[in-house]
Structure formats: structure tokens, C-alpha cells
Amino acid sequence: MTAPSFLAGAPRYLFLTGKGGVGKTSVACAAAVALARDGRSVLLVSTDPASNVGQVFGLRVGNTVTAVPAVPGLSALEINPDEAAAAYRERIVGPVRNLLPAAEVSLIEEQLSGACTTEIASFNEFTGLLSGDAAVAGFDHVVFDTAPTGHTIRLLQLPGSWTEFLNEGKGDASCLGPLAGLERQRAVYAEAVNALADAGRTRLVLVTRAQRAAVEEIERTGAELAALGMREQHVVVNAVMPLPPGGDELAVAVHGREQAVLRDLPAALRGLPADVLELKGENMVGLDAVGSLFEPGRVETAAAEHEPGPTPELPEGAEGLDALVDELAGQGHGLVMLMGKGGVGKTTVAAAVAVALAERGLPVHLTTTDPAAHLTETLAGSVANLEVSRIDPEVATRTYRETVLRTKGAALDDAGRAALEEDLRSPCTEEIAVFQAFSRAVNEARRRFVVIDTAPTGHTLLLLDATGSYHRDVVRQLGERTSLVTPMMRLQDPDLTKVVVVTLPETTPVLEAEELQVDLRRAGIEPWAWVVNNSLAAATTTDPLLRRRARNESGEIARVMERDSSRCAVIPLLATEPVGLPALRALTAAPVPAAT
């Protein structure tokens, strides 16, 4: 395996981050394998709620260090948010379970069932690894396959935020458990902050694709993490289309637009050391595939160029996005939630659906809860009947704080108001504020279409967890016979809510989408349809590399239709990026090619 430059002189901690779907897991796994094969002892850690490290190596990886038998010296660990939260709750509740009445124990467990507990529990696991935890004592390198950018920023901000909160705060930290429990972690948090800012111990690897949105994301990420002290940074541009051997229109277009992105990198990124990894014909699942990621690209056989013209390799029953829009339009109103892992094209699909519904004369509100979304840039224009907004976490949090101070704080004395203001500086306040804004959007769906471009899967599940916690709290307080309709009940109503799972026609994205579907069903929400985006099997191409990838796709699309959803739309990979109204209209203007 040819080692990329970001592994040269690698410090102990390597963090790989970037927009969801750019291949962080593949690059992290390949980096860990390369270091291990060089004789180092390596721990590969995932902090992504939608982690698939185990799928890459074909073994079960959980919340304990697990050796990878095929690679001597390599072990893996997935920080599972649910498992971490359960362990955190037990550390708090266990000592008092036999000392307090059962009703009080149940109340404590309920208070520790929300998103804030999950966040702080995962954070505790994370900081332990950075501060000399026994689990990492014997490893030369710890490679972090981090969560999508929004989670990464939040996760890396927590050490600084909570150190400051503990140093200065005396507010109510009940959403995180007893303050004494956090006080015991003070030294651990301080060491984590020091490790992140120490260039001799930590290197940040900004992983991207040669796509403008992904590049802009790592530019912002790099700046924000540099402000946190992480200034030792490298860039990896993953899955770049090599120069096509023939004149295939799609391959030439993809190669051209990617090269344009590489030539026009932002100044802040051009000054960083960088590696460019070529697109491979196979999916990055299995040791052989991962081991080839850093190798030069293999040219497909010339005979493949001269095979008969492009043949659609789609299973019977696959339809275009237009069919889904037609079915939605017949409903007249409702909530349409686009869900899936980051980087699969939720923003584009959401915008295309919203534009198509609005141009049928239906009132539509298009909004996003994704901090990394770019709806305005995607639309690049205005449409009659279409309102566009974004649930901005900072704005929502500020509004929430002002409302609480104006209402609950009005009757407090100076000391009480100061305590309330301190409590509202907790990072958990943001979760509550965003949930309230989300709930308002859900309620609008009774009178018009509300199309929500949700955040990457981890954020979405946290949001649904907050919704579910609110639902349980209301029912507990008002009783099962209450006529109140909570947001969770609206999400569970199939007549009102249509959840559309968006994925890519590749093994790992499909597996992750299936895991999301399982979680949704556990919450009482049945997905309405799936959309498979950027499909080469649905495109027109004679390029041997793209055709090889297209052949790999057909099995994944068949899997979706046979196992996951009978209602499935397939969107072809396009020669030009679907930005602007004409391109969005084209996504819903015609069906996919008929299967042969």
C-alpha cells in the first residue's frame, strides 16, 4: 500500500472529518491498515452514530476494543451512542436504585433518557480516549473516524464548552446528571482540550470529494477547528474521476467539473498539504478493497470500452422521482421528510420535490434542520407558492433563551435570574430550541406541504429522540386519554407524514439507510418511499470505470426494492450538478429508463 502524505510522521491521534458521504470511513480504515502494516499498533475509533467500521472489515465491532484478525496490530472501537448513554445512566442511577423510592428512580431515568444524555455520554467516552484512558495505553496511533461535520464540530467543542461551564457555571445541570459527576471529570476534560490543541499529538485530516459543497464544508470546518487549537491540518480529496480513456460524455463531464473544483480550491485549503485519491471501480467494503484505496488507479480493459451501448441495469419496478411527486400531489398537503446519511443528496431531492409540488399550484414550505445544508444555493431562484427557510440553531437558541427569560425569568429576583441565565448557557439548550422550531414546522403540514431536508442521520435520530421524550412527558403529565396531539404523534401518522429515505447505490450507504429504517420503525414511523440518488445504472455511459461501478449498483438497487421498499425512485448521475431551477425541474420531468 502506498502511504499518502497525511500519514508521513503521523502523530498519535489522527482525526478524519468532513461532510457526510465523502468517504471518511474508507480513508480512516485504509489509514489504520497502512499504519498497522507498517508495524504500528493502531486503534481505529468511530464516533459516528451511523458508524459502519464493522461492515468494512466484515466483523462485529461494538463499544469495546475489538481486534481485527486479518490485520495484525489493528483493533477497532465504535462509540455507540445508545450503549454509552445506557452505561452513563447506570453509573448515575445504580448507586441510588435501592436507596430511593421506585417512583423517584423512574423519574431520574426519564430525565436521563433524552438527547442531552446521549451527547454527554458519547463525549465522556471520547474524552477518555484523549486523556490517557487504559483502553488506548498500548496503541501507537488512534485513528478517529469522526461523525459528519455537524456532529464533529459539536463533539470537539464540548471539551472547551464544558470546561468553561464547570469553571464558571453554578446553574442547573440536571439534564446531564449530577453536577458532582461532571466535577470528577474536570481533569479529564482539561487533558482532552490539551491533546486536541497539541500539534505533536493531534493531526486533523479534512476529507472531501471534488464537489463545491463538500470543499466549502471542509473550509468552514478547518477554520472552526483551527479556532479550537487544531491547526495541524491536511486535506484528502477522495474518489476523483481519473482522465477517461475515451470520449464518454458523462465521464468527461464528471472529470472536468472535478478538475475545475481542484483548480479553484479556497486559499485557506491551497496552503495545506493535500492528497488526491482516485475513484475505484469497486465499493470500499472488505480488506482487499480498503487495501487498494491508496494505490494508483487500475485502468479498465480496453475491451470494456467496445461493449454494446449502455444498457440500463435497473430492476423492474424502479421509477423516476416524478412518480413520487405525482402521488404526493394527490394528497394536497402534508409533511414530507427527506432522511438519510449526509452526502447522499437530501438537499437536492428535497428542493426538487418542493419545486415540483409548488409548480403544480400547491403551497409548499421547504425548510432544513441540517446545519450543513445549502438550500438557497441549490435553488438559485424563486418559485411561486414556495417558501424557503432554515432552522438555524443559533437563531433558534437565542430566541428560546429570550423567551424563557421573558416568561419564567420575569418573576425571579436578581439571583434567580442570574441562575436561570447560567442554566440557559448549557449546550443542551440548543437541542430544546431546535426541537421547538421543528415542532412548529410539523404543525404547518395540516394546511400545506412542508418539505423538510433533515440533518445527517445521527442528528435526525437525536431530534426524533427529543420529540419522543417530549411525547412521553406530555402523556405522563396529562394522562393517556388526553386529546393533545404531540409532534411525535404527527410523525407517526402515515396520512400526514411521508418519510422518504435517500441513499446512494452503494453497499455502505444502503446498509446505513436500512439501519435508519429500523430505528424509525422502532419509533413507530414507517418510511413511505426510498430514493436512490446519483445512479450510474440509470445513466447513459460507455466509460469502462463508470460501467463497472454501474454493475455494482444493480444489486444494491434490487436489494432496496426487494427488502426495504416497494416504492423506490432512482435518480441518474447527471453530467452537470443539479443546481438551479431548470436542473431541479429535470429531476422530476421524466421517468428513469425502462429495465431490460
Residues 6+ apart with CB under 8 A from 218: 17, 18, 19, 149, 206, 207, 208, 235, 269
C-alpha 507/C-alpha 528 separation (Å) is 21
Please, what is the Cα angle at 395 between 390 and 398, to 5 degrees?
Answer: 155
Does residue 348 have an active-site annotation? no
**Residue 392 catalytic?**
no
Nearest-5° Cα angle at 426, 421 to 431: 115
| Annotated catalytic residue, options 17, 26, 486, 503 | 26
Burial (CB count within 10 angstroms: exposed 0-12, middle 13-18, buried 19+), residue 163: middle
Q: Which of 52, 515, 551 is nearest to 290 (CA)?
A: 52
* Catalytic residue (choose from 17, 18, 19, 21): 21
Q: Residue 149 catalytic?
A: no
- Exactly one of 23, 340, 409, 468 is catalytic; which is it? 23
Strand partners for 76: 44, 66
- With vertex at residue 87, the alpha carbon angle to CA 82 and CA 88, rounded to the nearest 5 degrees, is 95
Q: Does the annotation count 48 as an active-site position?
A: yes
CB distance 273 to 234 below 8 Å: yes
Beta bridge partners of 338: 453, 500
SS (HEC) of 530-545: EEEEEECCCCCCCCHH
* Contacts (Cβ under 8 Å, ≥6 apart) of 319: 568, 569, 570, 591, 592
Q: How far apart are alpha carbons 390 and 386 in whole angstroms?
A: 13
- CB 534 within 8 Å of CB 550: no
**Pairing mode of beta strands 66-67, 74-78:** antiparallel
Q: What is the 3-state secondary structure (H, E, C) of 157-211?
A: HHHHHHHHHHHHCCCCCHHHCCHHHHHCCHHHHHHHHHHHHCCCCEEEEEEEECC
Strands 202-209 and 13-17: parallel
Q: Report yes or no: 88 and 120 within 8 Å, Cβ to Cβ.
A: yes
Out of 47, 508, 541, 542, which one is annotated catalytic?
508
Alpha-carbon gap, residue 458 to 521, rounded angstroms: 16
Q: How far is CA 257 from each of CA 216, 276, 285, 549, rounded to the nearest angstrom?
A: 15, 15, 27, 19
21 is an active site residue: yes
Q: Which of 18, 20, 24, 222 is catalytic?
A: 24
How far apart CA 446 and CA 50 sit, in angstroms, is 32
What's the CA gap between 42 and 21, in Å, rounded? 24
Is residue 25 flagged as an active site residue? yes
> Where does residue 228 fall: left (phi above 0), alpha (psi -120 to 50 degrees), or beta otherwise?
alpha
As a residue count, the chain comes to 596
Active site residue: 17, 18, 20, 48, which one? 48
Catalytic residues: 21, 23-26, 48, 508
